[in-house]
Amino acid sequence: MGRHTYDANQQTAIRPTGGSRNDETRSNRMPVAIEAIGLTKDYGEGDSAVHALRGVDVCFEQGKFTAIMGPSGSGKSTLMHTLAGLDSATGGHILLQGEDLTAMNDRQLTLLRRKRIGFIFQSFNLLPMFTAEQNILMPLTLAGAKPDRVWMRTLVRTLGLERRLDHRPNELSGGQQQRVAIARALITRPSVVFADEPTGNLDSISSAEVLDFLKRSVRELHQTIIMVTHDAVAASYADRAIVFADGRIVADEPEPTAERMNALLMQERQRATAMAMAY
Amino acid sequence: MIRIGLRDARAHFSRFVMSIIAIALGVSFVVGSFCFREMMNDQVDQMMGSNTDHDVYVRGTDEKKDDDTDSSSSSMKTYNDIDDTLVDDIKDVKGVKTAEIVYSVSGSLVLVKQDGNAVSTMGSPTMGIGLAKGTWRSAHLTEGRWATNRNEVALHSYAAETSGLKVGDTTKLVYPSGPEDVTVVGVFDTDVSQAGAIILGLAPDVAKDLYQQQTGEIGRTQYIGVYGSGNKGQPLTNDQQRALADRINKALPAGSKATAITGDQLRDEYSQSIKDMLGFIQPLILIFAVIALFVGSFIIANTFSMIVRESMRGYALLRSVGASPMQVFSTVIIQALLLGLVGSAAGIGLGWGMVRLIVFGMARMGTPLSGAGNPSPTDMLVGLLVGVTVTFIGAALPARRAAMAPPIQAMNETVNPEKPVRPRAVTGTIMVVLGVAAWLFCWRIATVDGEPTSVGFLNALADRYGTGWPLGIGAGLIVIGVIVLAPALVRPAGVVLGFLPSLVFRVTGRLAVRNLSRQKRRTANTAAALFVGVAIVSCLSVVAASAKASVAGIVDTGLKSDFAVSSAASGRIPDAAVDAVKQVDGVKSVSTSRMLMNVKYDGKRISGTSFAEQPSLFTDVFAPVTMSGDANKALRDGELVVGETIAKDRGWQVGDTVTMTGERVSVDEEATAKAQADWQAQTQAKVTALQQEAQKLAASGDAAGAQAKAAEAQQAVTDAQNVDPSTLIRTKSETTRATVKVGAIISNSIYRTMVLMNDETAEKLADQQTMFTIQLFIAAKKGTDTEALRKRLVKAVKPYYVLSVLDREDYKSTMSSMVDQILIILYALLALSIVIAIFGIVNTLALSVSERTKEIGLLRAIGTSRAQVRGMLAIEAAIISVFGTLLGLVTGVGAGVVIRAVYGGNGLEVLSIPWDQLGVFLVLSIVVGLLASVQPAGRALRKPVLDAVASE
Amino acid sequence: MGRHTAQAVQARRGHDGKADNTGNAARPAGSARPVRQTRKSQTTRDGEAVARAVDLVKTYGAKDTAVVALDHVNVEFMRGQMTAIMGPSGSGKSTLMHCMAGLDAPTSGKVFVEGLEVSAMGQRQLTKLRREQIGFIFQSFNLVPTLSAEENILLPLQIAGKPIDRAWFDHVVHVVGLEKRLTHRPSQLSGGQQQRVACARALMARPSVIFADEPTGNLDSRSSREVLSFLKTSVHDYGQTIVMVTHDPRAASYADRVLVLADGRIVNDMSHPSYEQILDVFASEGTDDTDGGTAEGEERA
């Protein structure tokens, strides 16, 4: 069924060894866009301390669309936020094309966010008082850099936003807003784009649109996208799906399908239930 | 970035309104204080320019070192007197148009209006100046002519207006010797308003006479004023003045101890000293500016906290797409700068308007001012800078929070827990304790005779610095200490103050009390503004109440007489009036208090006044509180009864001998005879000359001409015979001497700075010229109907126009109304700062509510009614308000008590704490809190429950 | 779990025959006509309905960007049952609950709770409703931070001025296992403990129906299990009626009945479904959409 055998009776999960090694059989070995080494993140202290990330090792290839799945509280969002430099890690390293994010100060991170990292949130992606075009160009405006008009046109065309550029966010549908967000994330041609439940607030049709566009950006525009989602269907758009649970990676699936992902999720639930019973 | 900031600003505009108002008020006080000072200075300059407008002045060369320490410590120096005969020397100098001594008297004349009442305006004096053509360059006759004798007067236009008199009208002018008929012969105007003073143009010799009577100075003067002819009737330029002064100096005889200075120089000296005196006003206004700006700054901090909190997600988003902290910071700061600019601009306009209003008000009350009170560009810049800086300070911390929060945290909207308040509690308590100690120290210095403490070093300090320093330092420490300590007091205050509400409103009360402790600093800051305002008000209330009570106390316990008569113009009571009163039916005794001028004791003046009294003073008017000796006996025996303060000052004890010197003006027989002889000779010469001319004409055949001349000669003789002999009388002043013993030392507060002697002793020293009646005390015969007696007394003094009859109640109320008048202005300004403090409460509550959106939504979802939500917020606001007010009351009353002790000797014997007034403040504070909660509560309730609780 | 089961599920469920906005009514091959549970059969099965929605419609926004959140929904919630309302985001599940609970007013249609017409109530009546008929458990911000656990639990009763049944209080506290935490403030409790306090609070007043909005949304697996089992206990042991909105199939599996919403309509109504069944519904749902969705998506752009 899957590449990994899963022993429900085992207390610990088999750690995946990273996508790149498994892909040795593939024709092209793509460079690594971003990787985490021994990443840990804790919240709070004492009794109510939460270990959101427990020594995570993972590599993300360039030009790939990766989905990170897992139940609520699994730490998947935390992983993404930390990878993106939006949150600080308690321990471990994050290498973005060789540079260590965990060693950077705020100013360096700021520069990173302007140029090398793009971000798409679940909601509230756009500044309400600006038009779609202004929102898309925001990272460049902040940096004081001039926009690449050709790239801009490409993005706008690819995302189907030609007729919406001068609309404000409240004049756009949810799906359209997310597309503007994607364009904004891509305008600087970042090394990596992080998407946090990008279809979380959308209805089924808009969701499909957005996921499709994400896939196309990877295929046609050669971006690297890492997406967090709890939706197995969304994960099926990706080239690779990682399952997260209790701060660890418990499954790593290339060419995921919705059914496969659901199965994996359920396995994880059963395991968790079994563990909970034991307490 | 700027665009983001500007868009945000537009969106938040309604929030900013309150902040703009606060800044505007603060800046308006700042700018207003400058405008006011400018206006006053300008007024002074103008008046100087027109009233002291001579080109050159001649005065003494040596500065008089005066032992006179009672009057204001102005920077005006006085010089030695110079001989008035120098006028002749000066007149002959080239370029001198006129040289005269301008005589003026103030305070001893009263003009009577058309309707028969005395003309008097609030605080402004009535001045009589000897004016003839050319005496006062800046005065121009608009109608009629100048006065030539005692029964003529020319009026300044304002005086004419106020009195309703026109040229040709007859009225009475009350001279020191009594009222006389006068005719208005002219009206004159000056370019500059005289700030409500009533100026009368008298005939120059009349003015000279009055002046000499009043001051006792004969043949000497302080200043001779010179007008130069060098500029065709216009004021001389500075160079011309200089040149003229130099020439005059050369012409002054050696040994005259006189020197000529330019008019400009004198004007500068005068105006500087007056401006110095008025200088105290500006800092007073600035105090309120500080209060307003203090509150304004944290209103702004709160407002921006709200805005930042609500826009947190936006800032997080900006940060996540690469905005640097500086960029986020600037979007907030830009809004702040905009706000500051708008507020400051409004404040500048408001400040200007405030001064205009004050000028208008003062004109209404009889003190018209023509000074220009426009803010200079520097003033406006200062105002702008102040407003913008305060806004910046207020917004800086919230802006920093927005900028520094890591993006992810910003998205989660976690509220940072407050830093502990313990350090502040410790620091604050120490400061308050030290401040209280300083006040206790001050209090002991004031109330204890001898050494105030048992610590030598402290006593030495007390000696050196007196009560002023500990008072001030104590006040500073306590005020700042309380503000520092306040956050630590929030919880206990909440428990105590919330006890009652929690009892009545079980749930909402409890919630309200707990809410206050969440943001202790914020709660404390809000209460702090109210604290300062209430402290000042209650301190003043205590002082005022004590002042009134002290007066009442004196009057009730001390004053035995039934009536008092005094002059409304605070001048002399004519002797004729005294006689008239004495003859009124039902009067048992009349005690006259006559003030002696220029009396020295052992060569020095006293820091007080000397009075001639009768023994009835102590039996029928005020009983003495004797410290040593027998006051009654002393007065009867011609010994001195000395007030406690003076005795202490001079180190006098009962039995000491003192040599008094005074001045008496008496007729100089020789000089008078000579004057008369001169006049005779003059007339004779004139007549002879005329007769000779007549003869010449007759001889040359001009019979008519000869006739005329002869008639002239005859007229001259007649005139000479009809001359007013008083103008020929020459007086001399002589020093008188008397040696007396100190018979008693008394400690009544009113007598503390007085030396009393009986009439005989006084008359050895002074005479009618140098001593005059300023008050009468009348005791009624037993069994007389006081009401009827009063009517008779009023009738008796009516012809003198300016005398008023007061009974005990009147006496008390005149004092208290004076106190009240001063207080009104202060209360008004304070009310304004309290209004600002209220803004602070509303603002803080609004911020608190916006932070609790989810919580309030939750409460509503589980069944809290709207009324209960309102109630909860109302209780919170009321507790904050009461907290601040209580702190203010305690501090203010404490301050008032200490101040009263310090000034106990100066008329504040009795401590009176107006508990009812303070109680009203407390009740008001509760009402204020309730009102303040209305708007924030409304806002909270307008938000649909769903929006508040829905999960994202 | 095998493909045949999935296919059976697939056969059972399906879309309503709605015409979507693009007018594309084509359905992929293989889907069956929907089978909807009728009102009648519901009523006879489990006792009376505590709450009812009649032809509920809710739309947001203006013409062009108008969103239909609820599309003529009719449903009844039975007493003594735990009902889970599921669906992807944008399906209208939250909106349905908000309308049922009186937190939101429907554009048209009616809501009844214990026979009272909620949708027509004014503020006063809503307050009364919240005090007597309805209890709430939210995903987060459930507790008043300045009050202790005990005070939070007793809060609704005190607000309403009702007497407190101490025996019941002790019992509830015991069942949620918070005896030792009663004096703690929310900041001193873990997420799971906070939610349990919230549950206790909701139960204290013994309302006719408790509405829970993603109660385990912010919790880790263990805490979720605790809270859910407690909720289930309260239903079975005390006859409490609970309506829970969730997107978590695991949470839904605790329920006696699961309603699935999509695009504003009830597309599935399952009685005592197993976790697998729930999961299957979502899996197939998703697959179907993927094929159809992309095509539509292209056209849309």
- Residues B406-429 have pLDDT tens digits of 666 555 544 455 667 788 889 899
Closest Cα of chain A to B304: distance in Å?
A: 19
* Nearest CA-CA partner of B352 in B35, B22, B23: B35
Q: What is the pLDDT of residue C31?
A: 40
* More confident site: C243 or B159: C243
pLDDT band of B876, cuts 50, 70, 90: very high
Phi and psi based region of residue C110 (left: phi greater than 0; alpha: psi -120 to 50; beta: remaining): beta
Q: Which strand ranges, in their side-by-side order, compose the sheet holding C209-213? A: C134-137, C209-213, C242-245, C82-86, C257-262, C265-271
**A272 vs C contacts (CB less than 8 Å):** 221
- pLDDT(A37) > 50: yes
Which residues, other chains included, contact A23 with Cβ-Cβ below 8 Å and sequence gap of 6+? A29, A61, A254
Category of B851 on φ-ψ map: left (φ > 0), alpha (ψ -120 to 50) or beta? alpha
pTM of the model: 0.65
Instruction: Please name the member of B517, B855, B946 whose beta carbon is closest to the beta carbon of C103.
Output: B946
Q: Which of A110, A188, A191 to mutate to test the interface with B (most CBs of B within 10 A)?
A: A110
Q: Which two tokens stand for residue C179?
A: 């005896």
Residue pLDDT, tens place only, C119-133: 888 888 888 888 888
Tokens of B321: 């797409």
What count of other Cβ atoms lies within 10 Å of the Cβ of residue B11? Answer: 15
Has residue A14 got a pLDDT over 80?
Answer: no
And the tokens for A110? 């700021």
Is pLDDT of C38 > 70? no
Residues C177, C179, C180, C181: is their CA dihedral positive or negative? positive
Alpha carbons B198 and B155: distance in angstroms, whole number: 8
- Which residues on chain A are in Cβ contact (under 8 Å) with B7? 129-130
Residues A30 and A37: their CA atoms lie apart, in Å, by 19
Determine, for residues A204 and C262 on separate chains, whether the beta-carbon distance falls below 8 Å: yes
Give the count of beta carbons closer than 10 Å to the beta carbon of residue B94.
12
Q: Inform me whether the C-beta atom of residue C147 falls under 8 Å from chain B C-beta atoms.
A: yes
| Average pLDDT, integer, range B36-40 | 80
Count CB neighbours of A170 within 10 A. 12
pLDDT attached to residue A73: 67
Q: Cβ of C263 under 8 Å from any chain B Cβ? A: no
Domain boundaries, chain A: 62-82+113-278
Structure tokens at C19: 């015409």
* pLDDT score, position B571: 66
Dist. CA B579–CA B796, nearest whole Å: 10
User: What pLDDT score was predicted for residue B613?
Assistant: 87
The number of C-alpha atoms within 13 Å of B64 and in the hemisphere containing its C-beta is 14
Q: Which amino acid is at B260?
A: A
Mean of pLDDT values over B288-294: 75
How high is the pLDDT of residue A72?
67
* pLDDT tens per residue, range C103-118: 888 899 999 998 889 8
Residue C4 pLDDT:
42
Which single residue is written with the structure tokens 């129906």?
A: C209
pLDDT of residue B733 exceeding 50: yes
* pLDDT at position A68 over 90: yes
Distance from CA of B411 to the nearest CA of A (A): 10
Contact B166, B125 (CB under 8 A): no
Report, as an integer, the average pLDDT of C218-238. Answer: 84
Which chains would you list as touching B if contact means 3+ CB atom pairs under 8 Å?
A: A, C
Residues of A in contact with C218 (CB under 8 A): 72-73
Query: Which residues, listed in sequence order, are joined to residue B111 by a DSSP beta bridge?
Result: B173
Listed range (A194-198, B268-272, B561-565, B667-671) with the worst mean pLDDT: B667-671
**Model confidence over B685-717: pLDDT tens digits?**
888 888 888 888 888 888 888 888 888 888 878
Beta pairing, strands A65-69 & A117-120: unpaired
Cβ neighbours around A64 below 10 Å, total:
19
Residues 6+ apart with CB under 8 A from B200: B109, B111, B126, B127, B128, B129, B153, B154, B155, B156, B159, B173
CATH code given to domain A62-82+113-278: 3.40.50.300
Say whether A113 and B4 touch across the interface (CB within 8 A): no
Exposed, middle or buried, B272 (CB in 10 Å: 0-12/13-18/19+)?
A: middle
| Cβ-Cβ contacts under 8 Å for A20 (sequence gap 6 or more) | A29, A32, A59, A61
Q: What is the mean pLDDT of residues A184-196?
A: 89
Instruction: Look at residue B76 in the predicted model and tell me its pLDDT.
Output: 63
pLDDT at B928 over 80: yes
Q: Could you tell me the pLDDT band of residue B739, with boundaries at 50, 70 and 90?
A: confident
For residue B927, the one-letter residue type is V
Spatial contact of B935 and B910, defined as CB atoms under 8 Å apart:
no
According to the model, what pLDDT value does residue B874 have? 93
Q: Does B514 touch chain C (CB under 8 A)?
A: yes
Are residues B320 and A119, on separate chains, in Cβ contact within 8 Å? yes
Tokens standing for residue B279: 């200088």
| Digit-coded pLDDT (tens) for B599-633 | 888 878 877 888 888 888 888 888 777 888 888 88
Task: For residue A107, give the nearest of B4, B324, B408 by CB distance.
Answer: B324
Distance between CA atoms of B656 and B81, rounded to whole angstroms? Answer: 33
CA distance readout (Å), B697 to B683, B689, B712: 21, 12, 13
Yes or no: domain C80-88+123-300 corresponds to CATH 1.10.150.120 = no
Of the residues B862, B865, B872, B952, the best mutation for testing chain C's interface (the one with the most C CB atoms within 10 Å of its CB) is: B862
> What radius of gyration do chain C's Cα atoms show?
20
SS3 label, residue C115 = coil
**Tens-place pLDDT, residues A122-138:** 777 788 778 899 889 88
Residue-level pLDDT at B883: 94
pLDDT, residue B873, reads: 93
Token digits of residue B456: 């030598």
Q: Does B91 touch chain C (CB under 8 A)?
A: no
pLDDT at B769: 65
Chain A residues whose C-beta is within 8 A of a chain B C-beta are 81, 84, 86-88, 106-107, 110-115, 118-119, 121, 123-130, 138-139, 142-143, 184
What is the 3-state composition of chain C as percent helix, strand, coil, each rounded to the nearest 5?
Answer: 45, 20, 35
Mutation test of the interface with chain A: which of C3, C27, C59, C220, choosing the one with the most A Cβ atoms within 10 A?
A: C220
Interchain contact B943–C (C-beta under 8 A):
no
* Cβ atoms of B95 and B543 closer than 8 Å: no
% pLDDT > 90, chain A: 13
Indicate the pairing of strand B587-596 with strand B771-780.
antiparallel
**pLDDT band (50, 70, 90) for residue B314:** confident
Tell which residue, B276, B175, B269, has the closest CA to residue B223.
Answer: B269
Q: Mean pLDDT over all residues of chain A?
A: 80
pLDDT at C293 over 60: no
Residue of C28, C37, C10, C30 whose CA lies nearest to C268 = C37
SS3 of C54, please?
strand
* CB nearest A142 (choices: B313, B322, B409): B322
For residues B118 and B801, the answer to whether their CB atoms sit within 8 Å is: yes
| pLDDT for C8 | 39
pLDDT band at C216 (very low <50, low <70, confident <90, very high): confident
Handedness of CA A253, A50, B413, C153 (dihedral sign): positive
- CA separation for the pair B930, C229 (Å, rounded): 46
Q: Which residues of A touch C65 (CB under 8 A)?
A: 171-173
Question: How far A28 CA sits from the closest chain B CA (Å)?
Answer: 32
Distance in angstroms between the alpha carbons of the first and the last residue of chain B:
28
> What percent of the residues of chain B are helix, what percent strand, and what percent coil, each to the nearest 5?
60, 15, 25
Token output for B214: 């009043």
Please state, in angstroms and rounded to a whole number, the distance separating the CA atoms of residues B619 and B621: 6
pLDDT the model gives residue B173? 84
From the CA of A199, how many Å to the nearest CA of chain B? 14
Residue C140, pLDDT above cutoff 90: no
* Residue A86 to residue B408, Cβ atoms within 8 A: yes
Q: What residue in B sits closest to C207 (Cα-Cα)?
A: B862
- What is the identity of the amino acid at B58? V
Mutate to test the interface with A, among B320, B331, B335 (most CBs of A within 10 A): B320
Cα pseudo-dihedral B251, B253, B256, B261, rounded to 10 = 10
CA distances, C258 to each of A230, B950, C75, C253, C266 (Å): 20, 22, 12, 8, 10
pLDDT score of B886:
94
| Class of residue C122 by CB neighbours under 10 A (exposed 0-12, middle 13-18, buried 19+) | exposed
Task: Work out the average pLDDT over B536-541.
Answer: 84
Task: Find the length of chain A.
Answer: 279
CB atoms under 10 Å from CB of B242, counted, come to: 17
Helix (H) / strand (E) element for A218: namely helix A204-221
CB contact under 8 A, C89 and A201: yes
User: What mean pLDDT comes out for the span B460-471?
Assistant: 72
- Give me the torsion for CA of B779, B782, B785, B789, rounded to 10°: -30
What sign does the CA torsion over B212, B216, B219, B223 have? negative
Residue A175 pLDDT level (bands cut at 50, 70, 90): confident
Task: Round to whole Å and give the CA distance between A212 and A225.
Answer: 13
Residue located via tokens 């005889």:
B253
Report chain A residues whose CB lies below 8 A from the CB of C194. none
Range with lowest mean pLDDT among A201-205, C194-198, C258-262: A201-205
Six-digit token pair at A124?
């509230």
Instruction: Please report which helix (H) or strand (E) contains residue A199, including its range.
Output: none
Residues 174-193 of A with CB under 8 A from C: 174-175
B159/B282: higher pLDDT: B159
